[in-house]
Amino acid sequence: MTSRGIHFTLITTLCCILSLAAAAQGGGEDEAARYASAGQQALAQGRYAEAQADFEKLAKLAPDVAEVHATLAAIYFKQRAYEKAAQQVKTAQRLKPGLPRLDNLLALSLSELGDYTTAVPSLEKCFKQSSEHETTRMCGLQLLRAYTGLGRDGDAVVTSLALNRLYPDDPEVLYHTGRIYGNYAYIVMERLHDKAPNSIWMLQAQGEANESQKNYDAAIIAFNHVLALDPKRPGIHYRLGRVYLGRFHQASKPEDRDAAMREFAAELAVDPANGNAGYELANMYAETGNLAEARKQYEAVIKRFPDFEEALVGLGGVELDSQNGAAAVPLLAHATQLRPDDEVAWYRLAQAERAAGNKEAQAKALAEFRKLHSSTPVTLRKPNASDELTPQKIATDTQP
């Protein structure tokens, strides 16, 4: 992790508290004042190398002025000379212990130098108590670095969550917190492997990992091993169904499609409340043209989960295919209320309104579809709940 550097407001704040009269106390008043003025001007314009040279000369003329050393420390930090920054902070603190913000600057410098144990207490205080937006952010990022270096992975995760709440759209924060989450997940899975290598939980984790990597054969072996140990384990037949479905989409073998349907049905026998399994089974019936079974399964899902948006869209599609547009309208209207960004729902609603003879409502739904479709292609649609659910799709050979 590389810090973006000390925030400019910290440097300018330190400069503002620098008294030219105090700087001149060391002798050579005109010369000291000249270096101080030139250094402050260089800082204001972002010419840090020139500012560094001016304040280094000023520090020789006024060695006992804490503000000079503090400002020089901030400049060194900006120039990534962290050891020099730490030295200048310590000098400034010795000369004037109450000078503000130096604890933060010292902690940031020590963290950059890898002295995490010393840096952490001040970084924690800075992150929790600083009123400056950028300083809080920098201390939080450095805490991630320090906690990781010290092996305090749990603390790193807690800080990552706090950073994401404070800076939800910051690319640097998102990058580093994402790495923390991934690293922590890896550590936990490694611990699971070490402590219980042959457990059901390890086998399930292996199956899910292989599934995510599209290593379907290995995933099938792992999930079947889980079922051999616990035949009634909820969720495993569903995962197997998803694996077979993924392999069917990859190789188009009918036996994989049939296996997927058997596994979804088996999941419902184990856990009738698994709405995802019921939805997937309904979806496959609809795709194979068995509209009666598709309707039966979709209705069973919606009866249990009235706001299952994808199931509403699926049942609406079945009603359209059954030439029953009027029955599809309330289903699809409800779906668009639940998820206004679902272009498939708007597309089918336009079809349903046309079939029902509602031209004005058809035009409105079609306009919403076109607006969404122009900004987000159907191939990039996000599923309703997660990527573990097959989304509804628009038939390529139909038009609303």
What pLDDT band is residue 27 in, cutting at 50, 70 and 90?
Answer: very low
- Taking the C-alpha atoms of residue 355 and residue 291, their distance in angstroms, rounded to an integer, is 18
Chain-centre distance for alpha carbon 353: 39
Q: Which residue in 323, 326, 311, 331 sits closest to 389, CA to CA?
A: 311
Architecture of domain 8-189: Alpha Horseshoe (1.25)
Contacts (Cβ under 8 Å, ≥6 apart) of 138: 3, 4, 6, 7, 108
Which pLDDT score is estimated for 32?
Answer: 82
pLDDT of residue 396 exceeding 80: no
The kind and range of the H/E element at 81 are none
The pLDDT tens digits of the residues spanning 358-367 come to 999 999 999 9
Alpha helices (H) along 130-199: 133-149, 153-166, 171-195
% the chain with pLDDT above 90: 64
Q: Indicate the CATH number for domain 309-400.
A: 1.25.40.10
Q: Same CATH topology for 8-189 and 309-400? A: yes
The pLDDT tens digits of the residues spanning 29-59 come to 688 888 888 888 888 888 889 888 988 888 8
Task: Choose the weakest-confidence range: 2-6, 118-122, 245-249.
Answer: 2-6
What pLDDT band is residue 234 in, cutting at 50, 70 and 90?
Answer: very high
Q: What is the mean pLDDT of the chain?
A: 87
What is the CA angle 175-177-178, rounded to 5? Answer: 65
The pLDDT tens digits of the residues spanning 64-88 come to 888 889 889 989 998 889 999 999 9
Residue type for position 244: Y
Which pLDDT score is estimated for 384?
Answer: 45
The pLDDT tens digits of the residues spanning 178-214 come to 999 988 888 888 889 899 988 999 999 999 989 988 9
Look at the alpha carbons of 44, 47, 52, 58 in this order and tell me if their dihedral is positive or negative.
negative
The contacts found for 26-31 with CB under 8 angstroms, 24 or more apart, are 26/61, 26/62, 26/63, 26/64, 26/65, 27/61, 28/61, 31/61
Which pLDDT score is estimated for 30?
Answer: 81
Which pLDDT score is estimated for 388?
Answer: 73
Which pLDDT score is estimated for 376?
Answer: 59
- Taking the C-alpha atoms of residue 295 and residue 278, their distance in angstroms, rounded to an integer, is 11
Domain ranges of the chain: 8-189, 309-400
Indicate the pTM of the whole model. Answer: 0.66
